[in-house]
Amino acid sequence: MLKLFSDNKKAARLLSAARAAKERKAWPEAASGFERYLAIRPNDASAWVQLGQVLKLREDRDGAERALLRALSLKPDNPYAHHLLGEIERKRGRREHAVARFRRALELRPDAAHTRRALSALEPPKPPTPKQPPQAQKTPELDRLSDRLRQTEAASKRLEDQVGALRIVAQETARQRVALDALLARVSALEVRLAPIEAKANILGARSSALVDYFAEVEKHETSLAAVHRRLEALEVSART
């Protein structure tokens, strides 16, 4: 616990001394202070960026690059680290790499004016925008004509939709008419086939009626014969007595 407290106190003292040396532009002293601080606190991304800045000012581009890349490994979204790497690439003459670094820094911090100036200095000037032909001045009459044209186009579109719907209805009607004609033809054929059957049925009906009359007549004769038979039996009984 005491060692941790001692390390924290020592780290704070070293960081303060390194920043003070940087303010005085004492680059060797500042670089040494940041390096001694980072030996205790190696995960401080901000301190790595400051070390990279100091080393760049000392023209130690390789050392500055290593420090800045270490900072980005700890905090990839540090815009100033990308900006400093862009300056290093620019001094090395690697324009495309510098432009990429400056653009990334602007993505992370769009309001960084120093980065925007550095990027503008590297990017080629944009060609002048060609002049557009002057537009005709709009008048109330032109506005009315435009409105009428839009209304006419809308009415034409509605009419095309209605014509399309009517075509669909006509096609469906034609299909139904064909189906109805086929049904009527089947009905006619059935009527032709039923005609002889109806004639036979009429003949059978007439014959059935004659048979009914015949059986009625037979029933009458049977009744009469039964009455005669009863009278004969009565006469036989009388004759015996």
Domain boundary among 122, 148, 180: 122
Percentage of the chain beyond pLDDT 70 is 75
Residues 86 and 30 in one domain: yes
- Domain that residue 16 falls in: 7-122
Residues 12 and 112 in one domain: yes
pLDDT score of 201: 60
On whether residue 203 sits in a domain, the answer given is: yes
Residues 109 and 170 in one domain: no
Residues 186 and 92 in one domain: no
Please determine, for residue 133, whether its predicted confidence score (pLDDT) is greater than 70: no
On whether residue 224 sits in a domain, the answer given is: yes
The CA distance from 107 to 124, in Å, is 20
The CA distance from 76 to 38, in Å, is 18
On whether residue 148 sits in a domain, the answer given is: no
Given pLDDT bands bounded at 50, 70 and 90, which one contains residue 169? very low
Domain boundary among 59, 91, 122: 122
Please determine, for residue 192, whether its predicted confidence score (pLDDT) is greater than 90: no
On whether residue 157 sits in a domain, the answer given is: no
On whether residue 41 sits in a domain, the answer given is: yes
Given pLDDT bands bounded at 50, 70 and 90, which one contains residue 183? low
Contacts of 101 (CB under 8 A, 6+ apart): 82, 83, 85, 86, 89
On whether residue 143 sits in a domain, the answer given is: no
Average pLDDT over residues 76-102: 95
Please determine, for residue 165, whether its predicted confidence score (pLDDT) is greater than 70: no
Q: What is the pLDDT of residues 99-131, one digit of tens each?
A: 999 999 999 999 999 999 999 998 876 666 666
Q: How far, in whole angstroms, is CA 177 from its chain's centroid?
A: 43
DSSP assignment letter at 123: S
Helix (H, G, I), strand (E, B) or coil at 126: coil
Residues 102 and 175 in one domain: no
Residues 11 and 100 in one domain: yes
Residues 171 and 73 in one domain: no
On whether residue 172 sits in a domain, the answer given is: yes
Residues 172 and 238 in one domain: yes
Residues 70 and 174 in one domain: no
Counting every residue, how long is the chain? 241
Residues 28 and 100 in one domain: yes
Tally of domains in the chain = 2
- Of residues 79, 85, 80, the one with CA closest to residue 99: 85
Residues 176 and 86 in one domain: no
Domain boundary among 90, 122, 154: 122
Q: How far, in whole angstroms, is CA 14 from its chain's centroid?
A: 58
Please determine, for residue 193, whether its predicted confidence score (pLDDT) is greater than 70: yes
Average pLDDT, the chain: 81
pTM given for the model: 0.51
211, two tokens: 């048979």
On whether residue 42 sits in a domain, the answer given is: yes
More reliable by pLDDT, 70 or 144? 70
